[in-house]
Amino acid sequence: MLRLLATAPRGLTDLLARELAALGAVEVRERAGAVSFGGTLETAYRACLESRLANRVLLEISRFEAADTEAFYRGARAVHWSAQLKAGATLACEFSGRHPTISHSHFGALKLKDAIVDALREATGSRPDVVLDRPGLRVHAHAHDASITLSIDLSGESLHRRGYRSATGEAPLKENVAAGVLERSGWPQLAASGAQFLDPLCGSGTLVIEAALMAAHCAPGLNRRYFGFLGWRGHDEELWSEVRAAAVARSRAGGTPAVIIRGQDRDPAAIRDARANAERAGVAQWVRFEVRPLSDAAPEEAGDAQRGLLCTNPPYGVRLQDLEAARAVHRELGEVLRERFQGWQASVLTGAPQLGMELGIRAARTHTLWNGAIECRLLRMTVEPASLRRPGTLAKSDVSLSDTPGARMFANRLAKNLKRLKSWAQREDISCYRLYDADMPEYAFAIDLYRTVQPQEDWLYVQEYAAPGEIEAEAVRRRRGEVLASLAGVTGVPRERIKVRVRRRTRRGEQYEKLAGHAEFHIVSEGGLRFAVNFGDYLDTGLFLDHRLTRQMLRREANGKRFLNLFAYTGTATVYAASGGAAETTSIDLSRTYLDWTGRNLELNGFAGPRNQLIQADCLQWLRAGSRERYDLIFLDPPTFSNSKRMEAVLDVQRDHRQLIEGCMGLLAPGGVLIFSTNAQRFRLEPALNEHYAVRDVSAATLPRDFERNPRIHRCFELRLP
């Protein structure tokens, strides 16, 4: 019997356990975010093909104890990998869990890859190519302290990718989460009884398509062309063909669903995407999509108009300025339900649970589940007189949130900070500064104030540090509401100019991920210079406020010097060096977007031209290649961690900083200086560097006043040749 594990979106493991048992699994046990089970290879194939809820299906191949990194490498290398990987197949590796010495998942994945490659090279004389996207074999290592489990990822990539969806919205509903919503809502039973289905805010049609697949008994994986087991040496092609043929036969035996399944949306582009997705999913003949506003939603006259399921995922205000629009949509949805859908079941999935109060219908059941990283509530209602209530209580709750003891305490602290820092900022001519940085640990936010020019107006950039898993979700939501309800009143900044982001402390490298595509830039002033900032598209604005004094130091050092800015980001350090009289500057970054941003910042300050060179390159490769140029002043500020697909290798600043620094020192002209900066919270400078270079820790000297509460916000060192 094979030992298997299926992962699932949080909140759906009970449904997944039931589903797997129906597919032939035995010894089914729920675990945190997963279900372990036993079964044959046929069971595993059926789970990959027919599970509507699973993310991945993993086949355990080894367990061992590994107290340290080397023991992990030895245990992984001891596996007979040539029995798992087909000749010529590509490889990808993943690592998860908590281990005594492997503190980063990407480092664990690299050690696993090294072990497999070394074992195969020794056994076969050749090594597999590593490919992250759709490899021939994906191997997963999970650590529970020193206990390691190695598994083959039979799914290869998340099973929510059914193969039918090409276009999505801002926060797309994953296909398996949509299926979980429908299962929770009892749609399979309703469909069997002939009830109607309607999503009046269908977007790209995910709920409608999943509802049709369920009603037609179609296996959700039939359209997928890639599974992880296809490159696995243990794959049984004949058995797989039989499993797939049986699934097709069951679908055909079900015939045409005898139910009305509809979706509507006011956006014609969304409806075009929905129809195309339905065509790819093979359900176009069973569903109908229409361009219609929410106000036109009504049961279909044909069929049983008195029974049905209205199931939808309305917008819930991902950004603060969207909250009012989301509130209006929920209120209109409630009006439509109460007026036209008496006797129907309604299921509303929302990422802002308080908006459910706008519906004016009491939820009979509420379920918590996650759509990716977004915690959601599924509100299940029966539309009948007994469940109706007066809508609109949310506005009152907003007012009450600003008057709770916690909100008053937070508002008092924020007001004190504002009074203290505002006068300091005016004296120092500082227009962008940190106003609050988790001063009270229970209110874990970083709040930055930006004053823009032309027009001159204040903005708040609010970053919520993601709460630890042990903190109750209700407490997190309440504190978030108290903070957001207090900000405008204390600072005078209107709500439309308050931007909110959730930030996870562990990955500074996340700053390079684009979150949206609005390209709305504002101009701010710092040190007599102008910079473009963006509050909506990226995790950071483009101006690191904690580097303010570091940039001033570079300006003082730059006069007449050749300046090199590695990992240039948006080039703010380059602009400071140019303003300090640098003879020439060179800025290097892998991202074309950030080099263009650097060019914009140079142009804003009149420094565009051949003396200020921009180079798109992997900084690690560029340093290894060597340069004939020598520089008098070098600024090295690498990300804490980066695994960009365009980089040749993964960058970990703690592991790689010595190599980076030595590469820079090799480019330093006599009498030159290297300024090395990092935001790694637990960074320790390699002691050997003090033996080779003159090193001065200038961290305290470069810590701005508005960051004094967090002296570990960054480390900064000045290095010179002896």
Strand pairing class (2-7; 34-39): antiparallel
Domain with CATH 3.30.750.80 in the chain: 402-505
Question: What's the rounded mean pLDDT across residues 162-178?
Answer: 78
Helices (H), 231-370: 237-254, 268-281, 323-340
Question: What's the rounded mean pLDDT across residues 106-133?
Answer: 92
Alpha carbons 498 and 459: distance in angstroms, whole number: 6
pLDDT confidence bin for 648, thresholds 50/70/90: low
pLDDT tens, residue by residue, 228-238: 999 999 999 99
The predicted structure's pLDDT at residue 256: 78
Question: What's the rounded mean pLDDT across residues 20-27?
Answer: 96
The predicted structure's pLDDT at residue 548: 97
The predicted structure's pLDDT at residue 645: 52
Alpha carbons 568 and 636: distance in angstroms, whole number: 8
Highest mean pLDDT among 498-512, 533-547, 599-613: 599-613
By mean pLDDT, which of 83-92, 151-160, 498-507, 654-663 is the weakest?
Answer: 498-507
Is 352 or 224 the better-scoring residue by pLDDT?
224
The predicted structure's pLDDT at residue 442: 87
Question: What's the rounded mean pLDDT across residues 134-151?
Answer: 96
pLDDT at 591 > cutoff 50:
yes
What integer best gives the mean pLDDT of the chain?
A: 89
pLDDT confidence bin for 397, thresholds 50/70/90: very low
Domain with CATH 3.30.2130.30 in the chain: 2-153
The predicted structure's pLDDT at residue 519: 62
pLDDT at 386 > cutoff 90:
no
The predicted structure's pLDDT at residue 473: 64
With a pLDDT cut of 90, the percent of the chain lying above it is 68
Nearest to 458 by CA among 490, 416, 427, 483: 490
pLDDT tens, residue by residue, 414-469: 999 999 999 899 888 899 999 999 899 889 899 999 999 978 899 999 988 877 66
pLDDT at 504 > cutoff 80:
no
pLDDT at 393 > cutoff 70:
no
Domain spanning 175-216+256-392: CATH superfamily: Vaccinia Virus protein VP39 (3.40.50.150)
The predicted structure's pLDDT at residue 323: 63
The predicted structure's pLDDT at residue 132: 86
Question: What's the rounded mean pLDDT across residues 238-255?
Answer: 92
The predicted structure's pLDDT at residue 514: 44
Nearest to 469 by CA among 500, 504, 441: 504
3-state secondary structure 115-178: HHHHHHHHHHCCCCCECCCCCCEEEEEEEECCEEEEEEECCCCCCCCCCCCCCCCCCCCCHHHH
pLDDT at 482 > cutoff 90:
no
Alpha carbons 363 and 570: distance in angstroms, whole number: 48
Is 303 or 514 the better-scoring residue by pLDDT?
303
Highest mean pLDDT among 29-33, 43-47, 374-378, 648-652: 43-47
Nearest to 534 by CA among 545, 515, 546, 520: 520
Contact call for residues 510 and 539 (beta carbons, < 8 A): yes
Angle between helices 69-77 and 105-124 (to 10 degrees): 40
Q: Which two tokens stand for residue 80?
A: 């007979």
- The answer as to CATH 2.60.40.420 being correct for domain 2-153 is no
Q: Which two tokens stand for residue 152?
A: 């083959």
The predicted structure's pLDDT at residue 357: 80
Strand pairing class (345-350; 308-312): parallel
* Residue 672 C-beta-side C-alpha neighbours within 13 Å: 20
The predicted structure's pLDDT at residue 142: 96
Is 31 or 503 the better-scoring residue by pLDDT?
31
Q: Which two tokens stand for residue 264?
A: 């509507």
Q: Decide which of 3.40.50.150, 3.40.50.170, 3.30.70.3270, 3.40.50.1780 is the CATH code for 541-722.
A: 3.40.50.150
Contact call for residues 554 and 573 (beta carbons, < 8 A): yes
pLDDT at 109 > cutoff 90:
yes
pLDDT confidence bin for 87, thresholds 50/70/90: confident
Q: Which two tokens stand for residue 530?
A: 């102008």
pLDDT at 554 > cutoff 90:
yes
Domain with CATH 3.40.50.150 in the chain: 175-216+256-392, 541-722
pLDDT tens, residue by residue, 258-314: 899 999 999 999 999 999 999 999 999 999 999 999 999 999 987 666 789 999 999
Give me the amino acid identity at 450. Answer: Y
Contact call for residues 28 and 4 (beta carbons, < 8 A): no
pLDDT at 547 > cutoff 80:
yes
Strand pairing class (562-566; 584-589): parallel
Question: What's the rounded mean pLDDT across residues 480-491?
Answer: 87
Alpha carbons 701 and 427: distance in angstroms, whole number: 19
Question: What's the rounded mean pLDDT across residues 344-366?
Answer: 86
Helices (H), 23-139: 41-50, 69-77, 105-124
CATH of domain 402-505: 3.30.750.80
Nearest to 152 by CA among 136, 176, 131, 133: 136
By mean pLDDT, which of 116-130, 399-413, 495-509, 648-662 is the weakest?
Answer: 495-509
The dihedral through the CA atoms of 433, 435, 438, 444 has a sign that is: negative
